[in-house]
Amino acid sequence: MKERVVVTGLGVISPLGSTPGELWENLLEGRSGVREITKFDVSGYPVRIAAEIRDFDPVNYLDRKEVRRTDPCTHYAMAAATEAIDDAGLPISDLTPERLGVVLGTGQGGITSLYDQMQVFLDRGLRRVSPFCIPMMISNMPAGHLSINFEARGPNLTLTTACAASAHAVGEAMHYLRRNEADVIITGGTESGIVPISLAAFTSMRALSMNNDDPEGACRPFDAERDGFVLGEGAAVLVLERLEHARARGAEILAELAGYGATSDAHHITAPSPDGEGGARSMQLSLNDAGIEPEQVDYINAHGTGTPTGDVAESLAIEDVFGDYATCVPVGATKSMTGHLLGAAGALESVICIEAIRAGVIPPTINLTSPGEGCNLDYVTEGAREHPVDVALSNSFGFGGQNASLLWRRFA
């Protein structure tokens, strides 16, 4: 028998809210977090929109000296982790430190600090570069800071599998718990990549929506008029525990992480396999891991970024795995509202799946008015849909052809 793994706490810093409750309310209302970029001057940029974090003060979670010496991706991770631990009622001081771990995902890590310090180097010379530049920019530092702050001396791992990073992190955290190598894992993802070089690079790839005149309508997953994704930022953190440990401390169990699948397309550095073969295997592996049949899935939170090729490949993958049931299972793409949090997307969408299970409501996909060719599923479009959700599947697919699927189940 596999060790059962449950989630007992959630934390979120997102473009649609700084708590899971605030995020959930805005999602159900179909609100978009996409606006014109305010972090830097975007006049002259072909793309001028993103889903930024607003009204966030890291001093609420870190002292001022620590804020100056850490990247925003660490700020977001610390805030979301603090929320999740509080939500779980987790008595950190009572835990065995060696049985508490941290597993996070991020796509770009401390790219904000790298960009800022490169500007210092070019403008003011090498002697003015901060001695904290390296620990601010390297991708494992959010997990490192969480480990130090919460005295977590167990497994400490950072995954950087692009847009699948935090889904992989959650799945690998589950494996640590199943192997009884930890009692509790703080897991999820963080991203703070809305900086000039990142915007310019994604624009050069023609990956981003250029609908600057209608920011809230820019991200259009599965729609015939979709033209790319919208950059987002933020963090989502979940507290995962072995069921035995959660029960022993009387924790409220929010849901169960029942299955995890990870595959590679082995096809192209950025484009998915056109037939969705890798994503299909990822979903099938998560179902097999959980011992769940396709017909038992009540909701799929799609990767659904709004790119012309990616949305078709994912739709084909769902058809492959679910067969005749593919047109019956509700499919939603919440990136239409949150933007694409890159390496933090899988964790954020896991939180959304858990909230859907708890509420029996599926958030809408906004801006989807006419499904494009090859997109033939039951996309939730006409507002939030009341629908019992006992099992929810979340997909995350990253550049490099790296795929992850997480299967969440109502705890019973």
In sequence order, the β-bridge partners of residue 261 are 405
Question: Which residue among the candidates 75, 168, 245, 340 is catalytic per the annotation?
Answer: 340
Q: Is 175 a catalytic residue?
A: no
Integer angstrom CA distances of residue 288 from 164, 238, 350, 407: 20, 23, 19, 10
Instruction: Give the residue among 236, 82, 91, 90 at the shortest CA–CA distance from 145.
Output: 82
Integer angstrom CA distances of residue 72 from 108, 110, 149, 167, 344: 12, 7, 16, 21, 13
Q: Residue holding tokens 């950087």?
A: 160
44: left (phi over 0), alpha (psi -120 to 50) or beta: left
Question: Which residue among the candidates 75, 145, 168, 303 is catalytic per the annotation?
Answer: 303
Question: Which residue among the candidates 73, 75, 145, 163 is catalytic per the annotation?
Answer: 163
Integer angstrom CA distances of residue 68 from 54, 123, 135, 151, 383: 19, 20, 12, 22, 42
Separation of alpha carbons 73 and 77, rounded Å: 6
Report the amino acid identity of residue 128: R
Q: Are 318 and 222 within 8 A, CB to CB?
A: no
Instruction: Give the residue among 166, 410, 215, 208 at the shortest CA–CA distance from 310.
Output: 208
Q: Is 303 a catalytic residue?
A: yes
Separation of alpha carbons 2 and 81, rounded Å: 27
Residue 134 buriedness (CB in 10 A; 0-12 / 13-18 / 19+): middle
Which residues are catalytic, by number?
163, 303, 340
